[in-house]
Amino acid sequence: MAVDSSSTSKRVLISGASIAGPSLAYWLHRYGFDVTVVERSDAVRSGGYPIDVRGTALDVAERMGLLAKLQAAHIDTRKLTFVDANGAPIAVIPPEALSGDASGRNIELPRGALTTLLYELTQNGAIRYRFNDSIDTLEDDGASVSVRFKSGERGRFDIVVGADGLHSRTRALVFGPEQPFNRYLGRCFNLFSSPNGAGFSHEAIIYSEAGHAAGVYAVGDSDRLHAFLIFAADEPPFLSHLDIDQQRKRTSEVFAGGGWEVPRLVEAMQRADDLYFDTVSQIHMPRWSSGRVVLVGDAAYAPSFLSGQGTSLALVGAYVLAGELAAHPDPKAAFALYEQIVRPFVEANQELAIGGGGLLLPRTPEELDRRNKALAAGDFAADSGEYAAKRRQIHNSLKLPDYRHLLREVSG
């Protein structure tokens, strides 16, 4: 059966319905494109860890009419405490001292709250969502792209966009295997939920030893915590990606004998049914498009969670890509301008991850000692410090182009 794409407007297929995908769908629809989004999960995934929307990305949210809703969903984390092996505080700092953004320019909300808001924004009867499906093959003949879906259905589109995350299948189909584009940052992480037995509230607690760190994140007064166990490893364990038992074993060995709450967290990790393991990696590509296929968000330029900027890059990239496609009938010209405008912003934000790692996970005893001394000396005590100022400048470093004159009167 063929997919209905009978509209005379340009037909765009977007793979991935998380942050970049629905944001792009929203804008493309407003410029009069005919949009289909394919998502391999059976729904927009609503759970998840806290994420940040900052700087220029807040301008995008405002233009989407989402700012007030994001502000209402703001988590309001009040402090980050770095503790020693006995749980005694080394330093207590305000979150904005790390994020670099004074109130109003940094919104932190559960990832699922943002994906749900974006999905709702695109429920206008015109944008089609195909859940439980994904692109199986695609063929770009220069004039259009023929797609065969896993479900067996077929479709023909003018443009295909990969918004399918760090391990993008669209990227693999067009540019080849992930490995040459995956810049491994020397760390692996486990993310899972665990009971909030200690009554943590509106805060994060972080404990570091040389080469590994453990922490918990209490969103509001929830009785569940977002817990993480992160460790340094010289070689990326790509081969163990698929083997959850091996990941659990490796993590337990690394954290054996750890101080603070580590034994309890390792136990919770062993039992967790929502364990999420991955390498801390960025995506670096020489080009984000090929022919009529283009990538956006993590698929093209994941900055890693150490930058805290993945969500913001996805929102900004989607806004500019849609605007350039509306402005230029030739997709190649649009893709080139999208890349020209967004790439310097992406590169500056990816660079932020490098410093972020040293603070969370010093790799050697000397680095750990330096970090603890800096924390104790109050180097990160306020959002007016050098560290915060540099981040703030980079978060805001792209001035958004104005595409308002291209908006069409469309339904929804």
Ligand X SMILES: Cc1cc2nc3c(=O)[nH]c(=O)nc-3n(C[C@H](O)[C@H](O)[C@H](O)COP(=O)(O)OP(=O)(O)OC[C@H]3O[C@@H](n4cnc5c(N)ncnc54)[C@H](O)[C@@H]3O)c2cc1C
CA dihedral 343, 345, 351, 353 (to 10 degrees): -110
How do strand 128-131 and strand 34-39 relate by DSSP bridges? parallel
Encoded tokens for 364:
């050697």
Q: Which is nearer to ligand X, 11 or 169 (CB)?
A: 169
Q: Which is nearer to ligand X, 32 or 358 (CB)?
A: 358
Encoded tokens for 137:
């093959």
Q: What string of DSSP letters covers 345-412?
A: HHHHHHHHHHHHHHHH---SHHHHHHHHHHHHTTTTSSTTSHHHHHHHHHHT--PPPP-GGG------
* Rounded CA separation 226/379 (Å): 27
Min CB(163)–ligand X separation in Å: 5
Min CB(13)–ligand X separation in Å: 10
Q: Which is nearer to ligand X, 25 or 326 (CB)?
A: 25
Distance, first Cα to last Cα, the chain: 28
- Of 360, 185, 172, the closest CA to residue 282 belongs to 185
- Please give the DSSP secondary-structure letter assigned to residue 59: H
Q: Which is nearer to ligand X, 274 or 372 (CB)?
A: 274
Angle at 165 between CA 163 and CA 169, to 5 degrees: 80
Q: Which is nearer to ligand X, 266 or 316 (CB)?
A: 316
Min CB(162)–ligand X separation in Å: 9
- Of 281, 265, 277, 318, the closest CA to residue 296 belongs to 318
Min CB(191)–ligand X separation in Å: 5
Separate counts of helices (H) and strands (E) for the chain:
13, 18
Min CB(299)–ligand X separation in Å: 6
Min CB(349)–ligand X separation in Å: 10
Q: Which is nearer to ligand X, 191 or 341 (CB)?
A: 191
Name the residue whose CB lies closest to ligand X: 310
Q: Which residues bind ligand X (CB under 6 A)?
A: 15-21, 38-41, 45, 49, 51-52, 111, 134, 163-166, 169, 191, 297-299, 302, 305, 308-312, 314
Min CB(309)–ligand X separation in Å: 5
Min CB(20)–ligand X separation in Å: 4
Q: Which is nearer to ligand X, 285 or 406 (CB)?
A: 285
Q: Which is nearer to ligand X, 53 or 266 (CB)?
A: 53
* Rounded CA separation 54/232 (Å): 28
* Rounded CA separation 139/293 (Å): 10
- Of 231, 202, 197, 206, the closest CA to residue 84 belongs to 206
